[in-house]
Structure 1
Amino acid sequence: MKGITWKERNALCWRYDTELMRIETYGQNSFRVRITKEPDFSPRDWALIEVAELEPEIEVNEKGFTVTNGNLTAKMDEFGALSFYKASGELLFAEQWQTRDDPANHIPLMYYGHEIRRHLGERLSKCTLRLEAYEGEKFFGLGQHQISQLDLKGCRFELAQRNSQATIPFVVSNRGYGFFWNNPGYGSVTFANNMTEWIAEASTDIDYWVTTEETPAQIVSRYTEVTGRAPKFPEWAAGFWQCKLRYKTQDELLSVAREYVKRGIPLSVIVIDFFHWPQQGDWKFDKKNWPDPKAMVEKLHSMGIELMVSVWPTVEPRSENYAEMKANGYLIQSDRGVRTNYICLGSPVHYDAMNPGARAFVWDRIKENYLDPYGIRMFWLDETEPEYTFYDFDNYRHYLGSSMEVGNYYPVAAAQGFYEGMIQSGIKDVINLTRCAWAGCQKYGVVLWSGDIQSNFKMLKLQIKAGLNAAVSGMAWWTTDIGGFYGGDTQSASFRELLVRWFEYGVFCPVLRLHGHRKPLDAPSGEVEEVADSGLFDVESCGPNELWSFGEENYGILKNMVLLRERLRPYVMTAMDQAHKTGIPPMRPLFMDFSEDIFCWSVEDEYMFGDDLLVAPIMDEGARSRTVYLPSGRSWVNVYTKERFDGGQTIECAAPLEYIPVFASDAKLTELFQS
């Protein structure tokens, strides 16, 4: 074997020439693998939290070495190629080497299984990991992407954060392993038929974590064990959340809340969206439209409604906080050009959430202007990619480094700042909403939502897959803009049907939340002159988005759906508690519960909600039935008709506009569906 080896605590270390490798136990049946050409590894653990050290079994000889941790074995051959096996000897995956090193497998291409190539004149390198591809392998997870596939095999992805794209570089393979690329920098991953390739464009280390378990649910549980699990979900948040772009005044918001109470519709949360502030970065109410927030919050609480307010990370030069934040280095820097990140009713820059001083500064303003005086304890952390007008990642610089090296970590840092501030302020049931996430976000009490998506049936289909892959990636709390965000016309019969179908799906999401920018628009306010393609638009002119806004017949359906969600609250909370304790998400693909049923690995438009409900959304306009696959190993009851079916078969199921197909493996649950 080339190179030298030595043991350090719970790790085997290996060096050959300038290359240094460390394979350490990291949780049961799991390894963290790091490779660098620097004198030592980066000290940052990123998403990985501290876990108890486990003693590995190590064997070294002239043919290479093996390191075993429970049911997982890592092997290096005499030429430096790594592979991973179950204890039974079953191969999980191996690096792909195409070099001259092995005389018995001479390939002159000189592609290495792991490769670190330094950028000229810089400390950073392009880091690449190439793995063999296997016939029939499927991949799931990788966060939230707007694509038509649940199985990621055959796809290539940018590893970056964008509006509606949340990169969480963890995947579950049907070969029995989970893989986490522990690098928050810009890059890509390709799940091709000839290789799997992970690339970090600007880094010092290759850093990944791998685990093996008998079921995909156990793999996700193991992953959340080392990256953190969602806190205990507050029961008061398990009902219906009302939101739109946007309630413009205190009186308007209270009138909507009163109308819900008058109509007997339970409301858990109502939301104040953006531009309720004087300037971006002031993080406080504009007293003109919100003259008495304290009285408003007290009135909402008397109706049993919690208030959430939008918080943007943008800071306008006209903000009262801009000069102080700039002086202290609390704003994201631009390496070239004008220091403007985003064009939206001004030319703001984002606060640098990776800077602990900036996090503390922003939380102090939130505490001073929302929590302490008014008791507001829910925050909508919008724009947390952060969103740029141009995603020139090589031009932005954070406290921890260039966006190319660390940019994907921004949503974690933003969530961390609010979570820690809220905990220190005595709030024990933290729950905030975020538009983006990376690995580990789940432990900071955030609900991920799927961004500013279009209002059409095509986009509804995509959200089902986006939500399920986000769940596999550890995000137990997830939601979407019911009805989509852009383009929904409340007077359109087509949109009304879409809204109903989306809402019926939303009842069986972790969080039930209605939001959108609706037409027909209100009359322009005249306060902002709209200029096409300029970032200047009238945020006052947005249409209605309440349950009674979509026609009388649909109103009855939507009200029934909210009341159904109320009856399901104990069931929802049981699923949320399971996520808190085990990391297994409440909404999940069928294969997580039925991994031995080979057909479940190919079902992409149904899912389990909790342990006993199978949900089959309606995703096509005009559809009044659909086929449903019922997994083997259980019998299933249609919760509306009470028909019973054996598992392991596909059936045709009616789906009138009033409901979508739902099946229970516990017949007692059908009583909750009888209105």
Structure 2
Amino acid sequence: MKLSIIFLLLTALSINNSSNAQSFQKTDLGIKTVINSTAIEIQYYGPSIVRVLKSPEGRSFIKESLSVITEPKKTTFNVKQQGDVVNLRSSTLNVALNLKTGDINYSSVNGELLLKEKQSGVKFTPINDAGNNTLTVQQSFALDNDEPIYGLGQQQQGKMSQRNVTLNMVQGNLDDYIPFFQSVKGYGVFWDNYSPTVFTDNTEGTSFKSDVGDCVDYYFMYGGNADGVIARMRELTGQAPMFPLWTYGFWQSKERYKSQDELVDVVKEYRKLGVPLDGIIQDWQYWGSNYLWNAMDFLNPEFPDPKKMVSDVHNMKAHMIISIWNSFGPHTKQYKELDKIGALMNFTTWPESGSEKWPVRRDYPSGVRVYDPYNPAARDIYWKYLAEMYKLGLDGWWMDSSEPDHLNPKPSDFDNKTYLGSFRKVRNAFPLMTVGGVSTHQRAVDSGKRVFILTRSAFAGQQRYGANTWSGDVTSSWSALKNQIAAGLNFSLTGIPYWNADIGGFFLNRFKRKLEDPEYRELYVRWLQFGTFTPMMRSHGADAPREIYQFGQKGSKYYDAIEKYINLRYHLLPYIYSTSWEITASQSSMMRGLVMDFPKDKKALDLNDEYMFGKSLLVSPVTNAMYVKAGAEDFSATGSKETYLPAGVDWYDFWTAERFSGGNKVSRQTPLEIIPLYVKAGSVIPVGPSVQYAEEKKWDNLEIRIYPGANGKFVLYEDENDNYNYEKGVYSTITFTWDDAKRNLTISDRNGSFPGMLNERKFNIVIVTSQANKPVNYTGKKVVVKF
């Protein structure tokens, strides 16, 4: 947490009457001035990042950032006044402040205009926030008419570019709002405010307006491209640590396993069937009644020996995480301790009733209350009880309702006092604080196991806490499936790289026959195919179980298709794990909107049904039913999907190795077991062994697939698969470089080492166009393979 105390008392600055322009004061970090009764300060946080603060003249305040953890950096910059404009120029960014109007323009050092504030675009409106006299704050910008922007978190409208939208940014079950957007022009804007905020983009301009703020406080960053912008955002708000290798395997759960025997039996069945599985999740009510809500204890008699349950799962080489919430029932120990320190809030949350019967019996209120994660003492209490669960050997946490659930909100609800002021003031940062509380506590007591948190909501900076956000309780439908694509991509474009969705959708209420409905079975398979190419592959939902054996048996269409993609996920683990290293080491992203790799291709910039997974694979999920007619299965004709292949590079069909030129649409037949999947020319992709779980076999005999047509490079990353030793340099990398003209693959000297590292191994090098292959014995020294 960064604390900066700002006293913008600038009334003593002189006035230049001849030009009606005010003077300014140069500071170590930038400049400050007062223009039209507005105090303005510009601070450099580096050559590519500036912070802008604006407040009414003479107003003093303390600004505490929950998201930004870096301090402003001593930056070399020049200041030059030309008439009414003062220009601040660093090595990468030019900031121009109009001393008459107070408006700021941003441009590259090459003179390209990036963004400008709208004239007189700052507004302050006095309000009383739960007894505190403060402000509603607004800042407007003027974007180019045809300028796509991305980010703002996760929404469910299916839009890729976030132009012409109005978003009421209050965290919810299905919507995770992050007040950050980035442009195709290679810049980003982070609005550092945690209160309910309205983002508006229309013909009048682009603006953020927040209910509560002592000042306008935003960061402008220039990265040159989407990866560069994300790097700047993580520079401000924190880097993303590594997850364990096993988190990238297949996960099974449902709402909910009702006994420890049921949960253990699911893992047994997967092992019996020979279908890979790495994780299983226990959902809610293992604590018993709603009055004991989130007791963080196995009080339900159906879970008589939780330590044995966890041990049984581990003995089958699987991992287990468990549901925890951000609210507590009145009979829990946590409730009583939190209540003593005034760390429980009063508003309606879920569950409303003490009775577990449906529909809700409101005449038996549950008394469940949300806790105050802004309070460090409350976070300590939360972890004190969770630590007892951790001792059971659980491998991570499923933090449900981390936005939190706020049912039938009333304006007075936001008057609730938190440790940092009114709930209104800090509302949207709730997930950041509660996830951060668990992460920092676990990290403090155990460096041998990487933090892994699955959570339902997020805010700027959450990537630093080892959390993967899922898209909430989405309904099972084709439109919901399609909407997940843009939702996940825009979420990733805010700088938070780990995201997933309930495979199959959470609620099945549209499908009266549940799993017996052939359209649902088709939808589930297509959703699972999409889930194969997200940062976490996790099957979950209510109303019906989702285990593979619920969809038939080996030899049936649905079962075989599901098994095929679970196995494909495991074959891609060397590619996925190496991509996760790129995220940590080089600020990359796993799910990549096409703007990230093809910003010059205007046809690619607003596509909402395809994306890159890593930098080599283009994924085009099937998002409509093809094999159901009149409510019955009909496989008499094979469906197809059209996919746009971005320009400037050739592409290969992953399944057939057929080559296509970029800049065109291609149609591909899509039988149930096929998702359109294309590989960029020049790609080098490692393919791992067939396994039952991620760490079953070492990567001692990898297939290395070469997709010719361009030069390419891939860095294979390996470490101990868990713990934080990689932060001390305990890992290795092997770089594969393809020279397309010479048709040579150079395998570099191995860089680095770690305990258990393979000193000798085989690589089978395959040129996909010819199926030519050459086995290579590799001992850590450079090898050149010629074709």
In structure 2, the residue matched to 1:293 is: 306
SS of alignment partner, residue 484 of structure 1: coil
In structure 1, the residue matched to 2:124 is: 116
The yes-or-no answer on 1:617 pairing with 2:616 is no
Name which one, 1 or 2, has greater alpha-carbon Rg: 2
CA contact (8 A) 2:114 2:185 kept: yes
In structure 2, the residue matched to 1:387 is: 405
Q: Percent identity?
A: 31
Which amino acid counterpart does residue 506 of structure 1 have in structure 2? G
Change (3 A) 1:559 1:340: closer
Query: When you count strand as a share of all residues, which structure comes out higher?
Result: 2
CA contact (8 A) 1:212 1:219 kept: yes
The yes-or-no answer on 1:220 pairing with 2:230 is yes
Aligned with residue 93 of structure 2, among 59, 72, 75: 72
CA contact (8 A) 2:571 2:690 kept: no
CA distance in 1, matches of 2:196, 2:395: 33
The yes-or-no answer on 1:184 pairing with 2:205 is no
Which amino acid counterpart does residue 550 of structure 1 have in structure 2? F
Which amino acid counterpart does residue 548 of structure 1 have in structure 2? Y
How many angstroms does 1:213 deviate by? 2.6
In structure 2, the residue matched to 1:536 is: none
Unaligned runs of 5+ in 2: 1-19, 355-365, 628-638, 692-787
How many angstroms does 1:668 deviate by? 5.7
Change (3 A) 1:269 1:448: same
Change (3 A) 1:342 1:185: farther
Which amino acid counterpart does residue 394 of structure 2 have in structure 1? I
Which amino acid counterpart does residue 507 of structure 2 have in structure 1? Y
1:86-109 deviation digits (Å, cap 9, x = unpaired):
112222122222xxxxxxxxxxxx
How many angstroms does 1:11 deviate by? 2.3
In structure 1, the residue matched to 2:175 is: 165
Change (3 A) 1:45 1:248: same
How many angstroms does 1:310 deviate by? 0.2
In structure 2, the residue matched to 1:505 is: 530
How many angstroms does 1:344 deviate by? 5.0
SS of alignment partner, residue 559 of structure 2: helix
In structure 1, the residue matched to 2:247 is: 237
- With the length of structure 1 as denominator, give the TM-score of the two structures: 0.90
Task: Identify the range of structure 1 (120-129 vs 606-615) with the bigger mean alpha-carbon deviation.
Answer: 120-129
Task: Identify the range of structure 1 (158-167 vs 622-631) with the bigger mean alpha-carbon deviation.
Answer: 622-631
Aligned with residue 143 of structure 1, among 153, 156, 164: 153
Aligned with residue 95 of structure 1, among 111, 117, 122: 117
Aligned with residue 585 of structure 1, among 571, 586, 589: 589
SS of alignment partner, residue 44 of structure 1: strand
Which amino acid counterpart does residue 207 of structure 1 have in structure 2? D
How many angstroms does 1:569 deviate by? 0.4
CA contact (8 A) 1:468 1:588 kept: yes
Task: Identify the range of structure 1 (550-559 vs 54-63) with the bigger mean alpha-carbon deviation.
Answer: 54-63
In structure 1, the residue matched to 2:268 is: 258
CA distance in 1, matches of 2:167, 2:426: 17
In structure 1, the residue matched to 2:570 is: 566
1:201-600 alignment to 2 at 5 Å?
201-278=211-288, 279-333=292-346, 343=352, 345=354, 346-368=366-388, 370-372=389-391, 374-392=392-410, 394-396=412-414, 397=416, 398-427=418-447, 428-487=449-508, 489-518=514-543, 543-552=544-553, 553=556, 554-600=558-604
CA distance in 2, matches of 1:21, 1:268: 53
CA distance in 1, matches of 2:440, 2:685: 38
State the superposition RMSD in angstroms: 2.0
How many angstroms does 1:320 deviate by? 2.9
CA distance in 1, matches of 2:35, 2:127: 21
Which amino acid counterpart does residue 302 of structure 2 have in structure 1? N
CA contact (8 A) 1:380 1:433 kept: yes
How many angstroms does 1:330 deviate by? 1.7
Which amino acid counterpart does residue 122 of structure 2 have in structure 1? H
The yes-or-no answer on 1:27 pairing with 2:46 is yes
CA distance in 2, matches of 1:423, 1:413: 15
In structure 1, the residue matched to 2:727 is: none
Which amino acid counterpart does residue 343 of structure 1 have in structure 2? E
CA contact (8 A) 2:45 2:51 kept: yes
1:243-275 deviation digits (Å, cap 9, x = unpaired):
100001011101111001111112111000011
CA distance in 1, matches of 2:52, 2:126: 20
CA contact (8 A) 2:166 2:199 kept: yes
1:483-537 deviation digits (Å, cap 9, x = unpaired):
000015111101000000000000000100000002xxxxxxxxxxxxxxxxxxx
1:264-308 deviation digits (Å, cap 9, x = unpaired):
112111000011113114211125111111111111111111110
CA distance in 2, matches of 1:237, 1:322: 32
CA distance in 1, matches of 2:503, 2:436: 27
Unaligned runs of 5+ in 1: 98-111, 519-542
The yes-or-no answer on 1:84 pairing with 2:88 is no
Change (3 A) 1:344 1:441: farther
How many angstroms does 1:4 deviate by? 3.9
Task: Identify the range of structure 1 (476-485 vs 398-407) with the bigger mean alpha-carbon deviation.
Answer: 398-407
Task: Identify the range of structure 1 (250-259 vs 396-405) with the bigger mean alpha-carbon deviation.
Answer: 396-405
- With the length of structure 2 as denominator, give the TM-score of the two structures: 0.77
CA distance in 2, matches of 1:547, 1:46: 42
How many angstroms does 1:228 deviate by? 1.3
How many angstroms does 1:61 deviate by? 5.4
SS of alignment partner, residue 377 of structure 2: helix
CA distance in 1, matches of 2:646, 2:411: 44
How many angstroms does 1:669 deviate by? 4.1
SS of alignment partner, residue 229 of structure 2: helix
Aligned with residue 636 of structure 1, among 641, 648, 651: 651
CA distance in 2, matches of 1:343, 1:268: 34
CA distance in 2, matches of 1:442, 1:209: 18
In structure 2, the residue matched to 1:540 is: none
Change (3 A) 1:344 1:156: farther
CA distance in 1, matches of 2:140, 2:50: 18
SS of alignment partner, residue 657 of structure 1: coil
In structure 2, the residue matched to 1:601 is: 605
Aligned with residue 665 of structure 2, among 645, 650, 656: 650
SS of alignment partner, residue 51 of structure 2: strand
1:543-579 deviation digits (Å, cap 9, x = unpaired):
3221111234211111111111110000001111111
In structure 2, the residue matched to 1:522 is: none
Task: Identify the range of structure 1 (322-331 vs 505-514) with the bigger mean alpha-carbon deviation.
Answer: 322-331
Which amino acid counterpart does residue 530 of structure 2 have in structure 1? Y
In structure 2, the residue matched to 1:9 is: 28
How many angstroms does 1:654 deviate by? 1.4
Kindly indicate whether structure 1 or structure 2 has the higher relative contact order, using CA contacts under 8 Å at least 6 residues apart: 1
CA contact (8 A) 2:327 2:371 kept: yes
